[in-house]
């Protein structure tokens, strides 16, 4: 059930104007004109095939929140901001450190699709591989998903790219606070029966990762990022299209330093026994490249899309050897990469009698390499032994296979009631072999033209992110200052869920829509992730049992020059008993969590977002746009100190916060020049996202302080 939280879908009355027409309206004869359609016909054919592709990827009964490119541009920062900042404007999406976000109290468990084809996961922690510049619109699908969606089930981010039919583009430069400088260029067009779009950008600033102390200027926190994207398609016939999507990102980060901390070592390291935290020099490099090729066929009752994909992802951590040995008694240089190759097939068959059958399959093969060199002190019975640090190399590689198949039937039982039911089977083979058959059922009831109710049940199977599973040998570090507290390292399992969802949407007045969704989730082998050690590489582990419940409320108004939206979510996520990756936890943590349900570290009770924009469309100020946005959180979890002095993992939460952003822009239509002015964190709220405590939390992180940014763009 699609609802545009900010940005609107085309009304049905405008579809013909936009070139989107019913499938049967585009059938042509086998004439030379059909083989070599006119430019206008190419545009119309492309739009119709886009519509056909969307019909294959149906989200009936799920919760679907949509965002358009126009809405992105209206937000403070526009398409210069990172993708995660746009996601924070959607219902139930929670902000976290390292640029992460959580949907409905799940840690990650997100699947990205580009034009219907799955984009395999990567290793990036800080970097946002996907730029908003490539997006025409996207949908966040969550709740009880139909059978065609699996493996990553907290949310499916379904991105539809620009295709550049206008034979034009834009060059822009953006910058301001935190030494920000971000030039970009994009261009798209049509030549013959081929459509293309390309975009490239560079970004530099001095706040690459969240500050660790909340001061206005973060210490040692610069980043340089390069991104490129290309889309190419060719209309083979009125019923067939071949498309190619490719992208690359290269992102370098300094790891921010705390100020004024001094550590000492009983043994000298390169002649030093003392180190000031201000002087630490730790860096991380993240690289990602991906490519997809797809063939789309649409004729009569059948629509079919076949796709192949590849993704290479690499992460390199370069330590400050002297500083980390003195502070942590361990310094680890790490390199990890993952190559994923796979294919996907999806089909929709309009069988008549109100039935639409959908079926398909997916297969992916991964190969990952982990290469670390750890420097540690030898340890004897009294502590660190005499002598220099020692180096311990550890190199390993593994392979994984995932395969899925699904079938489902969308049955329009009556004009007001539609039922969607089906099942999928998933198989996973890596560190262990697992599989599951997962039934799904959804219903949508529209008693009148203003009200829509929906509900559903989904059985989910989510393997652990293979590329993140720790591969280092624990025994290799035994007898050193880097030894783990425990040598137990059970391999993570796939999470298995029962998911229930129900919701209501109501049109209250012209342009005004409101709704609510409620959900309840029961999990076995619940997957969470944590940062354990200096390299910023997240590692998955399992809780034996988990339970999550929540409610999302949302409203949006769009009429004339106004766009206004507001979202509010309440959630509670808990789990108990660590059953994998035990080496990363202390004995006291393992004992407490084995006996008690604890809050998940990313559990936030209340989350909200809101925004408004106004566009002047006539008069002397035509081209002027004003906008503002808000994010609110009641605070992520932190450890609590009990009356007896012991720690209760995730027993407390950080203080709540609100961040307000504003935007103003003006475009001169004739020369095609636009200027914009954005203020991020208008009231300079100083708030903490993490305080460094909690299960799997490695460091404190603070929200950004007030920043002022300017942009200039020119149509090409």
Q: In DSSP terms, which residues pair with 272 in a beta bridge?
A: 269
| Element (DSSP H or E) covering residue 69 | helix 69-74
pLDDT at 468: 75
> Quick check: helix, strand or coil at residue 421?
strand
| Stretch among 20-29, 209-218, 274-283, 627-636 having the lowest mean pLDDT | 20-29
**Alpha carbons within 13 A on the beta-carbon side of 46:** 27
Q: Average pLDDT for residues 96-113, to the nearest whole number?
A: 90
Contact 238, 34 (CB under 8 A): yes
Q: Say whether pTM exceeds 0.85.
A: yes
Question: Rounded distance, CA 459 to CA 481, Å?
Answer: 44
Q: Please tell me the distance from the alpha carbon of residue 122 to that of residue 314, in angstroms, as a whole number.
A: 8
| Torsion angle (degrees, nearest 10) of CA 686, 689, 693, 694 | 150
698 beta partners: none
Among the ranges given (30-44, 74-88, 459-473), the one the predictor scored with the smallest mean pLDDT: 30-44
Three-state DSSP class for residue 97? helix
Q: For 446-466, what is the mean pLDDT?
A: 93
CA 323, 325, 328, 333 dihedral sign is positive
Instruction: Classify domain 2-709 at the CATH class level.
Output: mainly beta
pLDDT at 3 (0 to 100):
54
Q: For residue 575, how many C-alpha atoms fall within 13 Å in the half-sphere facing its CB?
A: 28
What pLDDT score was predicted for residue 11?
A: 31
CA pair distance 75, 73, nearest whole angstrom: 5
In three-state secondary structure terms, 444 is: strand
Give residues with Cβ within 8 angstroms of 575, minimum separation 6: 523, 526, 528, 543, 544, 545, 546, 547, 593, 597, 598, 600
Give mean pLDDT, residues 222-240: 92
Q: Report d(CA 124, CA 129) in Å as an integer.
A: 8
Structural contact between residues 517 and 549, judged by C-beta atoms closer than 8 angstroms: no
pLDDT at 16: 24
Both structure tokens of 456: 């559903």
Domain ranges of the chain: 2-709
What are 272-290's pLDDT values in tens digits?
999 999 999 999 999 999 9
Residue 28 in this model has a pLDDT that exceeds 50: no
The 10 Å CB-count burial string (b at 16+, else e) for 617-648 is: eeeeeebbbbbbbbbbbbbbbbbeeeeeeeee
Exposure of 636 in the CB half-sphere (CA atoms within 13 A): 29
């Amino acid at each position: 059930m699609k609802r545009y939280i900010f940005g609107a879908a085309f009304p049905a009355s405008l579809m013909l104007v936009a070139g989107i027409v019913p499938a049967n309206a585009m059938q042509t004869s086998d004439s030379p004109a059909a083989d070599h359609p006119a430019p206008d016909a190419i545009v119309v054919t492309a739009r119709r095939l886009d519509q056909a592709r969307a019909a294959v990827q149906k989200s009936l009964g799920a919760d679907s929140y949509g965002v358009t490119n126009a809405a992105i541009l209206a937000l403070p920062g526009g398409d210069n901001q990172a993708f995660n900042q746009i996601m924070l404007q959607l219902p139930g999406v929670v902000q976290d450190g390292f640029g992460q976000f959580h949907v409905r109290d799940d840690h990650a468990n997100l699947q990205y699709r580009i034009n219907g084809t799955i984009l395999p996961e990567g290793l990036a922690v800080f970097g946002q591989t996907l730029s908003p510049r490539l997006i025409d619109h996207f949908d966040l699908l969550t709740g009880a998903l139909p059978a065609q969606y699996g493996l990553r089930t907290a949310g499916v981010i379904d991105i539809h790219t620009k295709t550049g039919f206008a034979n034009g583009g834009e060059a822009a430069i953006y910058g301001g606070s935190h030494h920000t400088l971000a030039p970009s260029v994009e261009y798209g067009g049509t030549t013959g029966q081929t459509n293309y779009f390309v975009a490239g950008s560079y970004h530099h600033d001095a706040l690459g990762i969240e500050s660790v102390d909340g001061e206005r200027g973060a210490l040692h926190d610069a980043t340089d990022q390069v991104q490129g994207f290309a889309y190419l398609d060719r209309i083979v016939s009125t019923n067939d299209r071949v498309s190619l999507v490719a992208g690359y990102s290269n992102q370098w980060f300094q790891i921010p330093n705390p100020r004024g901390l001094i550590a000492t070592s009983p043994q000298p390291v390169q002649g030093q026994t003392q180190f000031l935290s201000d002087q630490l020099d730790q860096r991380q490099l993240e690289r990602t490249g991906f490519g997809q090729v797809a063939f789309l066929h649409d004729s009569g009752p059948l629509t079919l899309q076949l796709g192949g994909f590849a993704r290479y992802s690499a992460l390199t951590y370069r330590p400050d050897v002297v500083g980390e040995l003195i502070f942590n008694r361990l310094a680890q240089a790490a390199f990890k990469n993952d190559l994923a190759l796979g294919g996907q097939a999806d089909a929709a068959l309009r069988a008549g009698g109100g039935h639409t059958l959908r079926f398909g399959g997916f297969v992916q093969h991964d190969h990952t390499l982990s290469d670390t060199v750890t420097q540690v002190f030898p340890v004897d019975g009294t502590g660190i032994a005499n002598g220099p640090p020692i180096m311990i190399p550890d190199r390993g590689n593994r392979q994984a296979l995932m395969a899925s198949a699904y079938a489902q039937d969308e049955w329009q039982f009556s004009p007001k009631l539609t039922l969607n039911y089906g099942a999928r089977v998933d198989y996973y083979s890596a560190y262990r072999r697992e599989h599951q058959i997962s039934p799904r059922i959804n219903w949508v009831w529209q008693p009148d033209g203003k009200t829509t109710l929906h509900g559903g049940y989904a059985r989910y199977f989510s393997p652990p992110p293979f590329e993140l599973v720790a591969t280092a040998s624990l025994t290799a570090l035994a007898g050193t200052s880097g030894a783990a507290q425990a040598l137990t390292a059970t391999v993570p399992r796939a999470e298995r869920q029962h998911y229930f969802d129900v919701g209501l949407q109501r049109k209250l007045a012209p342009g005004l829509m409101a709704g609510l969704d409620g959900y309840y989730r029961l999990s076995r082998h619940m997957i969470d992730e944590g940062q354990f050690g200096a390299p910023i590489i997240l590692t998955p582990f399992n809780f034996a049992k988990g339970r999550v419940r929540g409610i999302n409320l949302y409203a949006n108004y769009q009429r004339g020059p106004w766009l206004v939206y507001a979202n509010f979510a309440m959630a509670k996520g808990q789990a108990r008993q660590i059953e994998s990756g035990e080496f990363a936890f202390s004995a006291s943590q393992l004992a407490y969590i084995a006996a008690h349900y604890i809050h998940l570290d990313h559990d936030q009770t209340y989350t909200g977002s809101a925004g408004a924009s106004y566009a002047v469309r006539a008069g002397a100020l035509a081209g002027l746009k004003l906008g503002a946005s808000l994010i609110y959180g009641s605070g992520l979890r932190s450890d609590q100190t009990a009356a007896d002095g012991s720690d209760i993992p995730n027993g407390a939460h950080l203080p709540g916060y609100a961040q307000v952003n504003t935007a103003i822009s003006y475009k001169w239509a004739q020369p095609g020049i636009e200027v914009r002015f954005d203020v991020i964190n208008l009231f300079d709220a100083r708030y903490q996202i993490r305080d460094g405590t909690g299960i799997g939390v490695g460091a404190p992180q603070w929200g950004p302080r007030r920043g002022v940014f300017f942009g200039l763009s020119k149509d090409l």
